[in-house]
Structure 1
Amino acid sequence: MRLLLNLFFAILLLFITKNTFGQSPTDTTSLVPIKIHAYFNEQPLLGLTSSAQVIGKKEIESQNTNTLLPAMNQVSGIRMEERSPGSYRIAMRGSLIRSPFGIRNTKIYIDDFPMTDAGGNTYLNLIDPASIQAIQVLKGPDGSLYGSNSGGVIQIAPNGFGKANDHTQLLLAGGSYGLFQEQLSVQRNINDKYSFAFDQSFTRSDGYRENTALNKKTFQTAYQWHYNPKNSLSVFLLYSDLGYRTPGGLTQVQMDENRRQARPAGGPNPGASEQRAGIYNKTIYGGVKHQAQLSKNLSHTLTIFGSKTDFENPFITNYEFRDEKNLGIRTYFSYENNKTPSFQWHMQLGFEGQKGWSSIDNYDNHKGVIGSAQAKDNLDNNNSTIFYRLMTRINTRLTLEGSIGLNTATVKYKQRYPIIEDPQGKIGFGSIWMPRIAASYLINDNWAWRTSISKGYSSPTLAEVRSSDNIINHDLQAEKGTNYEIGVRWNTKNRRLIADFGTYNYAMKNGIIRQLRENGAEYYVNAGAMKQRGVEFDLWTHLLQPKKHGFLRALSLHSSLSYNYYRFSDYISKDGDYTNNKMTAVPDWVWTNSISMQLAHDLGLNISHNHTSSMPLNDANSVYAKGYNLIQLKTSWNTNFIKKSSLQIFIGVDNLLNEKYSLGNDINAFGNRFFNPAPLRNYYAGIKMAL
């Protein structure tokens, strides 16, 4: 009944919305955007001083539309995993060694609103992929402007911000393992001054394994109001009700016996299904941004944002409730002097600060029923960044940038249960100066060289200071490091071929490592120094120049390659000396390819390939996950069935080769339960209507 009500609501709202018309045909003439919004303003991608990439709407929709994995994994240096439907992890120029689940050491923004909370965690799985216009990726640590991050920065452009045509769209899709997806998007430009967008979605899935059901509902809206020529106001609001079951890891023997089973009972602990293990997250997130042009050269941006999360996690060993509140501000002045073309300069001075209030209660878990209390704590987070940036462009070819930030982070805690002698205290991670120096030089109109030296740091997240062993960890220190990077970009005059090559060396100290106690509860330690060296290469090309006639009308390729030389430089634990071992959960090679074809009769075909080499799953390098090759295929047909309306029918297949592989592996797993088997070959199909 609930499913039918969601369908009725979506179709009713679609038909009563006025002034609708279909989408324009997919643009097949451009490979990648010429410009990127980075470092406070829009600038040419060719001359950017950092390694960066834009993921557009076309890439997000190129494969299954209910997940960001295919699009994100096409970016060199990024590896995204989905342990079970709805459970995201991201490694951005780093490992997943800190992330049993969730996203850490990467800073994520929605427009100018930080989505990463005061505790260092990002609930990226709350956003519906269809509500995103584009994703801007800045790779490499940059604590000078964006606070705590050691992997890079991701900025999401939601529907409704920026220039958009009037648009109303309904997406309905279904697939293997009980998958169903419904998404409604309405965008309107009322006039030159006011525009808005509304997105609503519902997704459910039974999942491939036992105890992997997903149920997700989202409502998102964005408004822009240019209330006079020099001032504008933007509002963003997201509500998400997300619930998914967690199957748990399997041993190699268990996976070979039955790869679809959930974690069975073992020793004193019951199994995942018996404990009804899962994640339930209800979050409301919102923000208001005001932009003012104070003079011809001087502008000011003020952003206020906050969130409220009710988090529930029945787990094998406990039942956890979290009440999380976050409030923050980001504000900066920007001065631009472009009067002389031969010498232009910009500068920004600003502040970003967040405060978080978290109440965490743990109880015994009796088959999904709350038992006696185990621990109850209050933890308050404070983090702040004061930043300054100066950029100059000389003779339109040489770009020089320098920025510096002062970062602070603290955690205050109060232990409410059990009653102890000293129940409260404060943990500080110091005041850390983070500079960045970078340069880019346009050798000619087609070649650009870049280099940078930047400091990065990542303070321990709330889930690491107070992990599942329910003990406040006073000993953790922030990860710190210096990143050295060089790169080159090249494109042909007609932009039929574009290439981007970069290499980096990130020397990190105090790397945070996940460990497990005898009962399976996790805790974290600093592992000492780590070497993170990598090579990244991206290539975009039109194998066939787009044309209007013939059967094959466009054929393009995007190929990305990442090589990772990640090693523990100095790591001795109670279990052994792991110095010079490969860093846990990092493959040496990742190679992805995406081929897009436009055929006659409005047919389209997209084929994606992902090769990930084997990777160690424990610090001792004694257990490895096998490498795999994934192929995904999606074909679509577009037609205009009524005046000013369009219909797209699509069908796709994931894991075409029927690979038996494990995705979202448990790291340093207790009881050798390392593996989370991924689905075998599976299918989906759907329609997308614009009326």
Structure 2
Amino acid sequence: MKLPILLIALSVFHIFSLFAQTKLVFLDKNSDEPVPGVLIKIAGQENKVSDANGTVVFSLSKAAFISFSHIAYEATGIQVSPGQEVTVFLNPTAQSLGEVVVTGFESERPLVHQAGAISKVLENELYRFNENSILSAFNTKPGIRIEQRAPASYRISIRGSSLRSPFGVRNVKVYWNDIPFTSPDGTTALNILDLSNIQNSEVIKGPAGSIYGAGNGGVISFESRKQVNENRFSTEYAMGDFGLHRFRIGLDQQIGKGGVSASYVHQKSDGYREHSAMDRKVFQLALNTQPSEKQTLSAQVLYSDLNYQIPGALTRDQVEEDRRQARPGSVGQNSSIAQKTLYGTLSHELKFHQKIRNNTALYANTTEFENPFILDYKRETAFSYGGRTKFTYDDIWGDFPVKMIGGGEYQYGKTLAQNFGNRQGKADTIRFSDDLITAQAFLFGQLEIEWTSKLLMTLGLSNNYSRYEIDRQIDAGPNNPMANSRTFDPILIPRLALVYKLSPYSGIYASISSGFSPPTIAEVRTNEGSINLDLEAERGTNYEMGYRGSYGIFNVDLTAFYFKLNETITTFTNDQGVVLFQNAGATDQRGIEVSIDYSLYKNQLSAIQKIKLNHAFTGHYFKFADYSSRGNDFSGNQLTGVSPNTLVNLVDIRTKAGIYLNMTHQYVDEIPLNDANTVFQDAYNLLGGRLGWMTVWSGRWDFEVYGGVENLLDETYSLGNDLNAFANRFFQPAPGRNWYGGVKLGFRY
């Protein structure tokens, strides 16, 4: 009798074990508060929703992959076994300012309590536009403007910092995964990156030399995906007007406590204008691991093969005649750039003690660069290396929490640069050849003290060194080959900042910071062969006040600043049309930057889950304070290339069915294009939108399809003008009304 009873009991136990109760508890990663309304998708079962305690209970017969999503958090998933109890920490996406943590000025604090003008560009913001570049997402932030004179020809202006950049990215320091991405000569090849190489970004506006070195414009810190938390294969394809095609394939693989990820992207287009085609291939391989509880190690390899044509600037009459034409001579001379870059990095973090840790990162970079232009033909082979290290110490001195940071950064670059004549797109007789060496280094230290629970002080200081050498080996002109060098005196760059916490979700701050920016090799050594050793470094002082606050559905970020810049470097053109550089006295830069966002509606369980609006206003009222050039006095004129007023309006709508709509409006005021303020680009309005659908199948398959339109009003405008242009060729027409679309597919295994 006992045996049948035992068999029955075992059978009942087995049946119950097949459908054991599994429990998931969802908590906010930052606050540990429960998250109700999380949508849980289980293959073969109805969808579940977490209750007011962030809890959901369901039955499983076998191990399964469970996916979950919430309008305010990153969608993710985990493997769950029957009867398991799991606590899941969700990463907020649509956060209040008090929840957005930034690392600007090496201080991991909520944005609302940061003592500086910092903008965060989140991953979901990068993907609300056409995915062919980072341009659109960054241009929604106050004080920031990325220009594109032709596909893949970028120029960054943070608070007017592009004044000295006829092309390329200068006067802004760029980091990628906390490693210097800006070359030792002060230029940045931003165009070698694809959108997929970036997950999140932070932008410090204004001088940040106390801890990041040279650059009066500010700092951009890009971060690619560092952690591999699932095994996933993904692919996507996009297309659009003007022959745009973009294909990507990626693989993520967990290995122990780390993982490997790899991706390949190929993007090409014919371009809106004649002779404006672009072709870029980017491969990225990333490895991260945890050798011990106290150490993490990561490595990255990035290879980029970029080719793009340069259509050149047009006069106003040429724009009115045909805005899609190329500058005369560009096609015949094959004005273009071919660039191959290999960039490798190694990063290591070591926690010596619960109060002390070290982060060290090293990189090496090689580049082959070829640039036939209308006036000449340039070839360069460059190699550079460098690194950054910092020690962080957290403790309490008496009643005062203290954080100390100290470290240094070093970069060295060597380039063989040759300039030839251009005979119908082919290199002709050599004009001059130089061996170029650039080196820069700085030591930095920073002290943070919480004097009270509400008052935080930051004091930073760096000591900066820089030099360059131009060893002319060949000169076909009237000058004799000779070695030239310039070593800049060590420069101390201080910064003092205070934050007063009005509440956990609001604060005011004020800061005084110094900045400097030495001339780049491209500004000293120009295309016609001259070497201007007298060009001085820019020096400036920035005074800033700001307020940030979160009030339920509202987030407000307000900044007012005054930047006094001396020895301002500006451009002018000689009689041959070559761009040259000079120090131009001083500029006064006063401005306000405002960002407001709010959720009109938010309900995870309704058909329309979310309606969010964002407004960003930039008021940059910059003038030449004391500036004379070639016998003309331009004192009091507007700063060249800067729009005084810019307004951006965003509307984002999400539905329970997975359908989303993003609408964007941007107004840009008229822009002075020469120092005399006699030529302006007209004000314009841009309107665009993206409509898409996202879904998850069986908890493993991710699918998205989308389409959009840019410049819906078909405005005639330039997204990157030539400043102080020779022969009145100021305008680089941007595309008219155009469409794009794509599809994405991912599989978790």
TM > 0.5 fold call:
yes
Other-structure match for 1:530: 587
Other-structure match for 1:108: 174
Q: CA RMSD in A?
A: 1.8
Counterpart Cα distance in 1 of 2:470 and 2:495: 33
Measure how far apart 1:152 and its partner are: 1.0
Q: 1:645 aligns with which of 698, 701, 710?
A: 701
Task: Tell me whether 1:610 sits opposite 2:673 in the alignment.
Answer: no
Q: Which moved more, 1:233-242 or 1:391-400?
A: 391-400
Other-structure match for 1:454: 513
Counterpart Cα distance in 2 of 1:571 and 1:178: 45
| Amino acid paired to 1:180 | H
Kept in 1: contact 2:180–2:387 (CA 8 A): no
Task: Tell me whether 1:541 sits opposite 2:607 in the alignment.
Answer: no
Other-structure match for 1:682: 738
Deviations 1:3-50 (A, max 9, x none): xxxxxxxxxxxxxxxx99898657446534521122334211111111
Counterpart Cα distance in 2 of 1:76 and 1:673: 29
Q: 2:688 aligns with which of 608, 614, 632?
A: 632
Task: Tell me whether 1:216 sits opposite 2:274 in the alignment.
Answer: no
Which runs of structure 2 are paired with 1:101-140 in the superposition (5 Å)?
101-140=167-206
Other-structure match for 2:417: 360
Deviations 1:525-567 (A, max 9, x none): 00111111110001111011233213x3210012111100111
Counterpart Cα distance in 2 of 1:459 and 1:663: 27
Deviations 1:468-514 (A, max 9, x none): 2221111111111000000000101x4x2110001110100011111
SS at match of 2:318: helix
Q: 2:153 aligns with which of 69, 73, 87?
A: 87
| Amino acid paired to 1:31 | A
Other-structure match for 2:677: 621
Other-structure match for 1:343: 400
Task: Tell me whether 1:182 sits opposite 2:247 in the alignment.
Answer: yes
Deviations 1:282-326 (A, max 9, x none): 011111111111122111222111211101100000010011111
Deviations 1:239-260 (A, max 9, x none): 1001100000000001100110
Q: Which moved more, 1:618-627 or 1:299-308?
A: 299-308
Other-structure match for 2:492: 433
Other-structure match for 1:481: 540
Counterpart Cα distance in 2 of 1:140 and 1:643: 45
Task: Tell me whether 1:375 sits opposite 2:432 in the alignment.
Answer: yes
SS at match of 1:276: coil
Which runs of structure 2 are paired with 1:198-597 in the superposition (5 Å)?
198-264=262-328, 271-337=329-395, 343-418=400-475, 420-421=479-480, 423-492=482-551, 494=552, 496-550=553-607, 552-597=608-653
SS at match of 2:471: strand
Counterpart Cα distance in 2 of 1:412 and 1:177: 43
**Structure 1 unaligned runs (5+)?**
1-18, 265-270
Q: Which moved more, 1:69-78 or 1:410-419?
A: 410-419
Q: Give the TM-score taking structure 1 as reference length.
A: 0.93
Change (3 A) 1:544 1:189: same
SS at match of 1:130: helix
Measure how far apart 1:95 and its partner are: 4.0
Deviations 1:175-221 (A, max 9, x none): 10000001223233323x21232121000000000000000000112
Kept in 1: contact 2:419–2:527 (CA 8 A): no
Counterpart Cα distance in 2 of 1:115 and 1:665: 25
Task: Tell me whether 1:601 sits opposite 2:660 in the alignment.
Answer: no
Counterpart Cα distance in 2 of 1:486 and 1:308: 41
Other-structure match for 1:4: none
Other-structure match for 1:8: none
Other-structure match for 2:90: none
Deviations 1:222-275 (A, max 9, x none): 2211100111211121110011000000000011001100001xxxxxx10111
Kept in 1: contact 2:473–2:481 (CA 8 A): no
Measure how far apart 1:174 and its partner are: 0.4
Counterpart Cα distance in 2 of 1:409 and 1:165: 44
Counterpart Cα distance in 1 of 2:156 and 2:480: 40
Change (3 A) 1:208 1:478: same
SS at match of 2:676: coil
Other-structure match for 2:94: 31
Counterpart Cα distance in 1 of 2:372 and 2:286: 34
SS at match of 1:505: strand
Counterpart Cα distance in 2 of 1:530 and 1:597: 42
Counterpart Cα distance in 2 of 1:207 and 1:162: 36
Counterpart Cα distance in 2 of 1:468 and 1:345: 51
Count of matched residue pairs: 661
Change (3 A) 1:521 1:463: same
Kept in 2: contact 1:21–1:166 (CA 8 A): no
Q: Give the TM-score taking structure 2 as reference length.
A: 0.86
Deviations 1:336-380 (A, max 9, x none): 11598x521111111111111011101111111111111111110
**Structure 2 unaligned runs (5+)?**
1-62, 74-92
Counterpart Cα distance in 1 of 2:570 and 2:395: 46
Greater C-alpha Rg:
2
Change (3 A) 1:24 1:619: farther
Change (3 A) 1:85 1:25: farther
Deviations 1:57-107 (A, max 9, x none): 100000001111111011111011111111111101124221111111111
Counterpart Cα distance in 2 of 1:546 and 1:464: 55
Kept in 2: contact 1:20–1:644 (CA 8 A): no
Change (3 A) 1:571 1:22: farther
Counterpart Cα distance in 2 of 1:421 and 1:646: 64
Other-structure match for 1:154: 220
Kept in 2: contact 1:500–1:538 (CA 8 A): yes
Q: Which moved more, 1:285-294 or 1:480-489?
A: 285-294
Kept in 1: contact 2:652–2:661 (CA 8 A): yes
Measure how far apart 1:682 and its partner are: 0.3
Other-structure match for 2:144: 78
Deviations 1:437-467 (A, max 9, x none): 0010101223201010000111111211112
Deviations 1:618-659 (A, max 9, x none): 111110011111111000012335551021110000001111
Other-structure match for 1:6: none
Other-structure match for 2:10: none
Kept in 2: contact 1:21–1:167 (CA 8 A): no
SS at match of 1:255: helix
Deviations 1:147-175 (A, max 9, x none): 1010111111112x147544432110001
SS at match of 1:219: strand
| Amino acid paired to 2:466 | A
Residue identity over aligned pairs, in percent, reads: 34
| Amino acid paired to 1:308 | T
Counterpart Cα distance in 1 of 2:715 and 2:352: 58
Kept in 1: contact 2:475–2:481 (CA 8 A): no
Counterpart Cα distance in 1 of 2:659 and 2:588: 47
Q: Which moved more, 1:657-666 or 1:465-474?
A: 465-474
